[in-house]
Amino acid sequence: MYILGTKEEVNSNLQILRNNNKTIGLVPTMGALHQGHLELVKIAKQYSDIVVVSIFVNPTQFNNQEDFEKYPKTLDKDLEILNNSEVNYLFLPDTEDIYPSKPLLSIDFGHLDKILEGSFRPGHFNGVGIVVSKLLNIVKPHIAYFGQKDLQQVAIIKRLVQDLSFDVQINVVPTVREEDGMALSSRNLRLDPESRKAARIISKALFFAKSELLLGRPWLSIRKMVNQMFESEPIAKLEYFELITSDTFYVLESIGEEKSVSICAAAYFSDVRLIDNVSIFD
Ligand code: PAF
């Protein structure tokens, strides 16, 4: 695996490959790599000749400075993981390379960034939109891969690509879970053993709610039961638990005629905030 530190290095290495009709897949990450990232790499390798992983902890998508500072950074381990994978290039830029100056641009995603993650983390999707645009412009991949765990981010990025006519296909890869159902996330590294044990309540509540919904129980009654589950777990603080349309993120009170519906949740365990979601019909 080759490490590329600057836009210029990316350009000179990848242009030759593009000229030789090689397809390029990009897996953007913020490091602290886990099996979920490796799943993105595995799928990328199936669909692209060349796989580029980027690691950049993007300051502009953190609405909270402490969260940015505490974001897990495990570069040595990440390099070891990537060296043992099928990744061809790692793009490891400095902050100055990505942000030579503070962006003046701000992106308004309309309704999509006003609810759930958008409303609890103001400015977060603006930062995601800017950095993803930059990565797409620098790497110019044919396909970019994102995890389904960040479902609202996926919806935002699909709209970004559509509205700005980026010449890239967005592939979404299913969430990888631990044996107890807990979704893999870099932030899990910040959980102490007690919080980790408590945190399985998120996936438990999501899968419980999904099966009750499919059995025909009304959503409002399910949500009441989920609130009670969370109230009985002292470490957990539920932030939201919503039934939504998966692509457009409209909040629903029943499944109705919708074809693509998900339940999204966010909760704190001590000071660690986790998100997860399940799709209802697959
Ligand atoms: O999902 C992430 O890790 C980040 O939001 C991303 C897409 C790499 C942008 O910084």
Q: In what order do the strands lie in the sheet with 261-269?
A: 236-245, 261-269, 272-279
Displacement of CA 245 from its chain's centroid (Å) = 17
Query: pTM score, two decimals?
Result: 0.97
Q: Which residue has the tokens 């996330």?
A: 185
Ligand 1 neighbour 144 (Cβ under 6 A): no
Q: How far is the CA of 272 from the centre of ligand 1 (A)?
A: 17
Q: Does residue 142 have a pLDDT over 90?
A: yes
Reduced to 3 states (helix: H, G, I; strand: E, B; else coil), residue 251 is strand
Indicate if the pLDDT at residue 1 is higher than 90.
Answer: yes
Tens of pLDDT, residue by residue over 48-93, are 999 999 999 999 999 999 999 999 999 999 999 999 999 999 999 9
Distance 32 CA to ligand 1 centre (A): 12
pLDDT digits (tens, 9 = 90+) for 2-19: 999 999 999 999 999 999
Backbone dihedral angles phi then psi of residue 113, each to the nearest 5 degrees: -110, 20
For 13, phi then psi, to 5°, come to -75, -40
**pLDDT on residue 276:** 98
Q: What is the distance between the alpha carbons of residues 223 and 205, in angstroms, rounded to a whole number?
A: 9
Cα 58 to middle of ligand 1, angstroms: 8
User: pLDDT grade, residue 282 (50/70/90)?
Assistant: confident
Query: In angstroms, what is the span from residue 128 Cα to ligand 1's centroid?
Result: 7
Nearest atom in ligand 1 to the alpha carbon of residue 30 is 3
Residue 117 near ligand 1, beta carbon < 6 Å: no
* % residues pLDDT > 90 (the chain): 99
pLDDT digits (tens, 9 = 90+) for 237-251: 999 999 999 999 999
The pLDDT tens digits for 185-225 are 999 999 999 999 999 999 999 999 999 999 999 999 999 99
Which atom of ligand 1 sits closest to the CA of residue 28?
8
β-strands 89-91, 24-29 pairing: unpaired
Residue 150 near ligand 1, beta carbon < 6 Å: yes
Does the beta carbon of 54 sit less than 6 angstroms from any atom of ligand 1? no
Mutate to test the pocket of ligand 1, among 121, 126, 128 (most ligand atoms within 8 A of CB): 128
Closest ligand 1 atom, CA of 29?
8
Residue 90: closest CA among 99, 98, 80: 80
Which residue among 55, 61, 171 is best mutated to probe the pocket of ligand 1, counting the most ligand atoms within 8 A of its Cβ?
61
* Token representation of residue 71: 């974001």
pLDDT band of 30, cuts 50, 70, 90: very high
Amino acid at the residue 150? D
Q: Whose CA is nearest to atom 8 of ligand 1?
A: 29
Looking at the chain, the whole-number percentage of residues with pLDDT higher than 70 is 100
Question: Which of 131, 135, 168, 170 to mutate for ligand 1's pocket (most ligand atoms within 8 Å of CB)?
Answer: 131
Average pLDDT, the chain: 97
Task: Tell me if residue 34 is catalytic.
Answer: no
Q: Is the dihedral of CA 161, 165, 168, 171 positive or negative?
A: positive
For the Cβ of 161 lying below 6 angstroms from any atom of ligand 1, the answer is: no
How far apart, in Å, are the Cα atoms of 146 and each of 36, 150, 219, 231, 267? 10, 8, 29, 32, 22
